[in-house]
Chain A
Amino acid sequence: SYVLTQPPSVSVAPGKTARITCGGNNIGSKSVHWYQQKPGQAPVLVIYYDSDRPSGIPERFSGSNSGNTATLTISRVEAGDEADYYCQVWDSSSDLVVFGGGTKLTVL
């Protein structure tokens, strides 16, 4: 089955740029979606279709997808961005939804 691989943790200083990767075999051929989950809360969609932002999501959040890696980029990181981030795809070859293992973003 299709596997998405995320780094367990990423740390970044306030005001800097955080990049969270999501690796998968030829993931560039799939649509990747990203979710933010803060402690005790439900996940929130932050990026869909690789790079589109839902309404209400700051422009600081952006996404890209090519080859074997998709990336969520958070510019000018704020303390409030500290959360777990998950990537997700639909694997049409197996008719399964796949989530990455999640990345904990720590703001130093």
Chain B
Amino acid sequence: QITLKESGPTLVKPTQTLMLTCTFSGFSFTTSGVGVGWIRQPPGKALEWLALIYWNNDKRYRPSLKRRLTITKDTSKNQVVLTMTNMGPVDTATYYCAQDYGDYGNNWFDPWGQGILVTVSS
């Protein structure tokens, strides 16, 4: 069974840096083709893809946020970390991590973690 779970702060102040960790089980970055992505969802709004990382350390970022995002992996810990700098109120959202479903580069997401609501407020 594949599971993912997000962890990190639920409240950050404007201009601070957010660091979220996705801890997963049931698969491993030692397997060719494995990828994990981050997607966020502001309250009551649609989904927005942020970043992806693959077993071979290939990384993809949403161009409009690329300067603020960093995605890394720790293969031994089965973790993916997303860092977002200069947080603002518009970044208030539920942040999800999800496995890249199927073959390398499919860019479909399943399964997903439960999500973590991050609020940006002073």
Do A and B belong to a common assembly? no
